[in-house]
A and B are shown apart, each in its own frame.
Chain A
Amino acid sequence: MEKSFQITLKIQRYDPDTGKSWIQEYQLNAGRILRFVDLFRKINDEQDPSLAWSSSCEHGQCGSCAVRINGKPMLPCELLVENAVADFNTTLFEIKPLTIAPVVRDLIVDLEKAYEKINRARPYIIEAKPTAETSAEYRITPQELEKYVAATRCINCFCCAEACISSSKAFLGPNALLASIVRIMDPREQEKADRLALLYSDQGVRRCHTSRACSFVCPKEIDVAYFIALAKTGRFNPYP
């Protein structure tokens, strides 16, 4: 089925050398299964090599490419032209960088800054419980793992943080909370007190307004809000 679309992309540009910001319009003829990252590449190759955008794996496993497309935070590596036209019911797309971190150039934001919140949530086992035998693996039943495995699928694309309606700058954001909740639920983690203190601090779950926007936009289809709701019920506290 040969079919193509006349697409208009209005892309927000930013030049760090001059501090100037503007909207630039590009017209493209695009095949139906080209993805938005392919469109950016096409712009670079055919119209404007200076347009800066981010990507790495380009198949939804790394989350580097996240931008706002007609207001919705999403991964352009997963968005096909024909689906975009159908879902948004238009051939005009406004593409803007995420707002969760300062823009470096055009669509590229400083993820390092965004990750500071993840680091605060300590994305590792702080203190491991001893294993039954030395140099052996822990025993975790599939049923126990099932309780939190969905949360381990997070790729830190920050779409959820972008969509979150909490206006508090202090709020860690959904994905950082998820990073900590995974370890609270992970039977190998011994250090729960510090984690709970952060979760229930003024950076934590009480900044969440339960809009569930995080779950709605998650490209990995993680029900982020469910895990935050678990924390809100207080069931992690007191933890054995």
Chain B
Amino acid sequence: MNRTLQTSATLHCDLLVIGAGGAGMRCAVEVLEKRPSIRVIALTKVPHPQKSHTSTAQGGLAAVDPADPADKIIYHMFDTWKGSDCTADQNIVKKICEAAWEQIVWLENRGMHFSRNQDGKLSKRTFGGHTLNFGERSAFRAVFEADRTGKGIMDTAWGESVKRGVSFLNQSVATELLFSDSRCVGTMVFLQKEGKFVRILSRATVLATGGSGQVFKVTTNCRQNTGDGLAIALQAGLPVLDPEAVQFHPTGIVGPGILASETLRSVGGILRNRDLEPFMERYAPKMKELVPRDLVVRAIEMEIREGRGVMNPDHHIEHVWIDLRHLPQKVHEEQIPEVSGFFKKYVNLDPRRELCPVRPSNHYHMGGISTNISGQILDSSHHPVPGLYAAGECAAASFHGFNRLGTNSILELITMGKFVAESVLELLEETPQKQAEATVEKSFGLFSGYLEGRGRENLGQIRAALKALMTAKVGVFRTKTGISEAIDTLKELKERAQKVFLSSKSLAMNQELIQRWELDNLLSVSLVIARAALERKESRGAHFREDFPDRRDEYNHHTLASMPVFGDITLTRRAVDMSVFNARDENYENFNLIERKY
């Protein structure tokens, strides 16, 4: 079948936001609050903005309340720096931590239903890695909306965007960025419902497409997080910063992969292997289950790798157990009710009487499209690309470095969303330049290729092979041999992908077609993760090389990976910003290259 694809319409706007989650909507609303006449179009891949992955964030939102006599912004900055394993950029850490509380008030004033204390003020809770006085004791720094903080942000930001008149294109994907004289002037968009391509010309374009967790077999990420934003940025020749920095959470629930909170370990849950041995005693005789997240992740993976895991026959996922049976009834009822509810709902067991299956679950991508402190996307020479911005999980400024603290991600969404809006507003103040015709679209060739693909390869099988491969070889444990094998296999998978035959050639709401496109994105993102992981011959934050288990000073830099064509990768470096340390103000020594020990 030979079908000529074409652009069915050209739409014009001032601001195009690609991805209508927390970061994208915060940005859109800020722009409209300042200048209501701006024409904003927002795309979302999901059926409706409210269905975005932001909605699933549970725990909280870190921010230092100026009314809190004990907490200080510098403590939050220190915790973020230390947590990042000294690879966050200190200028962005300072900027976000300083702006944090104002963003909380912004959300609250616009109707977010934060949990409250008896004075009617916002309740606060502690969270791993957040401390007072440079690590002295836990800080009550995270505001929250029960166990659905992300939903609160999403509902608020989406509600405001409806109020302010954002035009939404739901179930739409951006397939290609369009440039004219190296300025981003718009985007090719595929409207899934209609099965049509439209060209959207915009003065400013913001990528806020979220994470890439679907690269891995077990993930907390939603089904749509296939790294699309990273893939279209790579395709445009733009670099991704620190792609190798991928975070895993120790206790994902077998099945949906969602988090069984770390509270389970802090209230006394015991991890056991196939032989029911409490194995953490072997890895950390003193602290046992209470050691930091990454150590628990590695201990569980080691048990599974050495054959002491348990295979779940339904999901074909190997796991260990978390034993909560010995905990008093009161703890079950008062401290872990929602997690107990998850086990009941998704595994159909009673944690008071039965062992619960958990395993490390991919959680967050610290790496992302390289931006400056204002969210402008940088090209490989570190120059801002005019008209192009990124915010949220798809972007890296870098606030999280090589390891993200809990409650810092949704903080980053809303603050960076706002900062990007400020940059966009500046751009929109300028008189629009007369644009040359945008570059010719590649999307049609790509999609006709998918539709015309001939061969016997099966989309689902290739995707499953990719996820298993990345989990086994570029996941929690990484070695030179494993990563190299993964790189070779990824190239083979790419070739196999070209022989996928789509059973339906329809354009309208053809999930197979979109999944075929997603597979290419997953392959691209996987390959840059693997290549960068191979190059970094050290362990840092969430990146753990068994053959190089320590952090090494010669790698105190960010990775920049470019891949305009699949397989054609260039890796360069960028220095980590240490401006807080270099300013030599009070407490500056805490911002030196310190050990990440708790």
The residues of A with any CB-CB pair to B shorter than 8 Å are 2, 4, 15-17, 30-35, 38, 41, 44-46, 48-50, 52-64, 77-78, 80, 82-83, 104-105, 108, 110-112, 115, 119, 122-126, 128, 131, 135-142, 144-145, 149, 152-153, 155-156, 183, 186, 188-189
- Give the CA-CA distance A41 to B214 in the complex, in Å: 14
Beyond A33-B315, A52-B509, A57-B222, is A63–B51 a contact (Cβ under 8 Å)?
A: yes
Contact B122 A137 (CB under 8 A): yes
Beyond A105-B509, A123-B162, A139-B120, is A45–B170 a contact (Cβ under 8 Å)?
A: no
Q: Of A52, A58, A149, which contacts B256 at CB under 8 A?
A: A58
Beyond A49-B512, A137-B122, A153-B148, is A54–B348 a contact (Cβ under 8 Å)?
A: no
Beyond A49-B512, A108-B509, A136-B105, is A123–B155 a contact (Cβ under 8 Å)?
A: yes
- Give the CA-CA distance A59 to B255 in the complex, in Å: 10
Residues of chain B with a CB closer than 8 A to A141's CB:
116, 118, 120
B282 at the A interface (CB under 8 A): no
Could you pull out 7 A-B pairs where Cβ atoms are within 8 angstroms? A34-B315, A50-B503, A56-B53, A64-B46, A104-B508, A135-B105, A137-B114
Greatest chain A CB density within 10 A among B115, B121, B223 is at B223
> What mask results when residues 256 to 295 of chain B are scored 1 for a CB within 8 Å of chain A, else 0?
1010000000000000000000000000000000000000
Question: Which residue of B is nearest A114, CB measured?
Answer: B48
**Majority SS of interface residues in chain A?**
loop
Contact residues of B between 300 and 314, Cβ < 8 Å to A: 312-314
- Give the CA-CA distance A2 to B502 in the complex, in Å: 35
CB distance from B120 to the nearest CB of A (A): 3
Count B interface residues, CB 8 Å. 69
Q: Of A16, A48, A142, which contacts B117 at CB under 8 A?
A: A142
Contact B508 A49 (CB under 8 A): no
The residues of B with any CB-CB pair to A shorter than 8 Å are 46-48, 50-53, 55-56, 102, 104-105, 108-111, 113-122, 146, 148, 151-152, 155-156, 158-160, 162-163, 168, 170, 193, 222-224, 255-256, 258, 312-315, 342, 345-348, 458-461, 464, 502-504, 506, 508-512
CB distance from B500 to the nearest CB of A (A): 10
Question: Which residue of B is nearest A60, CB measured?
Answer: B345
Contact A57 B51 (CB under 8 A): yes
User: Which 10 residue pairs spanning A and B have beta carbons closest together?
Assistant: A31-B314, A45-B460, A139-B120, A124-B159, A105-B509, A62-B51, A111-B47, A50-B504, A137-B108, A125-B111
Residues of chain B with a CB closer than 8 A to A35's CB:
255-256, 346
- Give the CA-CA distance A44 to B461 in the complex, in Å: 11
Q: Of A59, A104, A137, A152, which contacts B193 at CB under 8 A?
A: A104
Question: Which residue of B is nearest A144, CB measured?
Answer: B120
- Give the CA-CA distance A155 to B48 in the complex, in Å: 11
- Give the CA-CA distance A137 to B502 in the complex, in Å: 53
Q: Of B55, B146, B162, which contacts A61 at CB under 8 A?
A: B55
Residues of chain B with a CB closer than 8 A to A54's CB:
47
Contact B55 A45 (CB under 8 A): no
CB distance from A218 to the nearest CB of B (A): 15
